């Protein structure tokens, strides 16, 4: 499993890096947007 992932990343390293960066930015954006809205409910 891991070896196959390494082979894929070595073949299309740029595509994988770009996809991971987009996914990371999407998650960070969701957290930054979600935290201010979630905190008032959690305080109650």
The structural domains of the chain, with segments of one domain joined by +, span 1-35
User: How far does Cα 14 stand from its chain's mean position?
Assistant: 16
**Alpha helices, H only, the chain:** 2-11, 13-43
Output the pLDDT for position 23: 94
Instruction: Kindly list the distances between the CA atom of residue 38 and the CA atoms of 3, 5, 19, 28, in Å, as whole numbers in the listed order.
Output: 40, 36, 28, 15
User: How far does Cα 18 stand from its chain's mean position?
Assistant: 11
Q: Give pLDDT tens digits for 1-43.
A: 678 767 766 666 788 888 989 999 999 998 888 877 766 655 5
Residue where the block lists tokens 């070595």:
10
What's the pTM value of the predicted model, to 2 decimals?
Answer: 0.49
């Amino acid at each position: 499993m891991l070896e196959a992932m390494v082979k894929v990343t070595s073949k299309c390293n740029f595509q994988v890096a770009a996809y991971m960066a987009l996914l990371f930015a999407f998650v960070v954006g969701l957290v930054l947007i979600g935290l201010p809205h979630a905190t008032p409910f959690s305080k109650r």
